[in-house]
A and B are shown apart, each in its own frame.
Chain A
């Protein structure tokens, strides 16, 4: 058990003035049996009224529309999360079936189909064991190299390149688990000691959603704060925006998560 303090800051600078911009931000940790939000503060610049709600995956979102011309957009969220368990049990998600089906960025092509078959992992094993076995395999067979893949890169394409970042690990892992018949969710979150957001996977093992971190080849520990989940990265993207004008943009994201002593 631990209390994690987080700071998420996103700043977008535009080459030209933006006349109007709509945004949806999913950056407030959702609550479940594993994590409990102790408090959070949000700010949006330029200042604008925004709304809060939940999307259909249960992710928290804030959204609104800037109608004043601006050349800089800053979003910041800070808060504390109490981590109660390292993996978690949950009542069955009514959408479980959704997470069995190939979708979006998690659709296998010839490359992943061949890989899946070549590994020859025994089928009908305990799902938890299958997940662990695939996690080790993937960690071995895929290299962590930033800058090769992009936000839009899907599982099959990333697999073809043989290297990528946490999003690619998670997309490929989700795709493989679904091929093995195990419902799997893509998770977006933050971890201690990393300057950007992180991604991992939850798989349904015997009525429990268990969280695996294929990038680090480990089970999710008390260093992970979950923000949201979905079928792939697009469902729980931290920022979705639509702007009128603006030209080229530079995006700076700073994430900090650190452990706090309890009772501090």
Chain B
């Protein structure tokens, strides 16, 4: 295995990542802490045919999700036709009434989608969740590949490896496609954000300006960038790395200091593209996840290519019965939580915890989903010089311009703890590069 040659360079690559500031910031007990995002140099390798299959499935899924968002914020045909119950739309914390009747440039809502998958021991891939708001992580495999190539150039000559540098081009194309005129900027909340490294890295690679809210101003339904020498230039596309509620204090959270007053009115009038569009949370809600295969059939008239993990909605009486009867073998997720929080395994609860949880579940059935625990494949990592298996997932990036495009790489995250199934970076795991091979 020639890629093992890479292992020798792990420490050096991690050292460089630290020097470049590739960190992950998290809030814990109200204290902001930056930590390194440990890189493991054994790549996840996906063969050409297998990736082609994933690619087809991911395109199909993102296409349906975009149609769903367009439908929900306008005619709501899928609700009228009884495919998705109204409750799951309006009670979702991601649904925003402020987005009703607003048509984003070219009708695209989710320009950059991060779809999390795992590979089961049965060899099949399962979708774990869709991230359609502000999915982060593409910069990690980009820079890691770059550093590995520098430390071990031979490794990259001897493999049929798809290039992953083109992420910046895909992103640029995606931003340009919806830009009605003017500059393209990346809007960051600032350096105390968990993904600040990524914001600056993507700005550099795409040639977009990196800006904070105070550098943008709205005048007469247009958005402008105020440069350091005071000139005002029109902005047509904002890849915003701040969440919906902080985007515009005049329309959303009035306390927001990082947003731009009235930017949402500029968007409403079609004079600026926001990537991703506000309101996307209604489509990546854990409760809506259950309905994605139904959406694919409904909107596209096709069978879903990629499967969901088997999921139950206690909201339906029949599913509630199943959940109560098989409680110990299921994982339960609070639909309002993200980042690996609000996830509990039936098998690890004490009797009292279980009873309390079941009481809560019966009181608020809409709040939870239950899933079969997928026995997913381990990937090898190097831990203190030893090769050991760890649970890992894959975040695939799908960028939508004229059509959805799948980046031939992705972020592979693994859990640090040998018994943990939770691989979120906010829970302290590490990452790998993802190699896609060509034929």
> Shortest CB–CB separation between residue A58 and chain B, in angstroms?
8
Residues of B whose CB lies within 8 Å of any CB of A are: 74-76, 79, 86, 89-91, 97-102, 218-221, 249-250, 254, 261-262, 265, 268-269
Residues of chain A within 8 A of B219, CB atoms compared? 65
> Shortest CB–CB separation between residue B262 and chain A, in angstroms?
6
Q: Does A51 contact B (CB under 8 A)?
A: yes
Q: Does A63 contact B (CB under 8 A)?
A: yes
Within 8 A of B (CB), among A208-264: 230-231, 235, 240, 242
Q: Of all chain B residues, which has the CB nearest A231?
A: B97
Given A56-B99, A56-B100, A57-B97, A49:B265 Cβ within 8 A:
no
How far apart are the CA atoms of A242 and B261 in the complex, in Å? 8
> Shortest CB–CB separation between residue A177 and chain B, in angstroms?
16
Partner of B97, one of A24, A49, A56, A63: A56
Number of interface residues of A (CB under 8 A): 22
How far apart are the CA atoms of A172 and B249 in the complex, in Å? 27
Given A22-B262, A51-B265, A242-B254, A94:B97 Cβ within 8 A:
no
Q: Check B250–A51 contact: CB distance below 8 A.
A: no
Q: Check B97–A98 contact: CB distance below 8 A.
A: yes
Q: Check B90–A100 contact: CB distance below 8 A.
A: yes
Q: Check A101–B91 contact: CB distance below 8 A.
A: yes
Residues of chain B within 8 A of A95, CB atoms compared? 97, 100
Q: Does A193 contact B (CB under 8 A)?
A: no
> Shortest CB–CB separation between residue B123 and chain A, in angstroms?
42
Given A53-B269, A56-B99, A94-B100, A63:B250 Cβ within 8 A:
yes
Q: Check A98–B90 contact: CB distance below 8 A.
A: yes
Q: Check B265–A53 contact: CB distance below 8 A.
A: yes
Q: Of all chain B residues, which has the CB nearest A24?
A: B250
- Per-position 1/0 for A185-217, Cβ under 8 A of B: 000000000000000000000000000000000
> Shortest CB–CB separation between residue B92 and chain A, in angstroms?
10
Q: Check A63–B90 contact: CB distance below 8 A.
A: no
How far apart are the CA atoms of A263 and B356 in the complex, in Å? 69
Provide a sorted-by-A list of 23 A–B residue pairs whose CB atoms are within 8 angstroms: A24-B250, A51-B221, A51-B265, A53-B265, A56-B97, A56-B98, A56-B99, A56-B102, A58-B101, A63-B250, A65-B219, A94-B76, A94-B100, A94-B101, A97-B76, A97-B90, A98-B97, A98-B100, A100-B86, A101-B90, A101-B91, A240-B250, A242-B250
Q: Of all chain B residues, which has the CB nearest A22?
A: B261
Q: Does A55 contact B (CB under 8 A)?
A: yes
How far apart are the CA atoms of A24 and B74 in the complex, in Å? 24
Residues of chain A within 8 A of B89, CB atoms compared? 97
Residues of chain A within 8 A of B91, CB atoms compared? 101
> Shortest CB–CB separation between residue B417 and chain A, in angstroms?
39
Q: Check B100–A22 contact: CB distance below 8 A.
A: no
How far apart are the CA atoms of A237 and B183 in the complex, in Å? 34
Q: Of all chain B residues, which has the CB nearest A61?
A: B265
How far apart are the CA atoms of A242 and B263 in the complex, in Å? 14
Residues of chain A within 8 A of B221, CB atoms compared? 51, 53
Residues of chain B within 8 A of A240, CB atoms compared? 250, 254
Residues of chain B within 8 A of A242, CB atoms compared? 249-250, 254, 261
> Shortest CB–CB separation between residue A31 and chain B, in angstroms?
16
Residues of chain A within 8 A of B75, CB atoms compared? 94
Q: Check A56–B101 contact: CB distance below 8 A.
A: yes
Q: Check B97–A51 contact: CB distance below 8 A.
A: no
Q: Check A97–B86 contact: CB distance below 8 A.
A: yes
How far apart are the CA atoms of A63 and B90 in the complex, in Å? 28
Q: A53-B221, A56-B101, A94-B100 are in contact. List 7 more A-B contacts (CB 8 A).
A: A51-B221, A56-B98, A65-B218, A65-B262, A98-B97, A230-B97, A242-B261
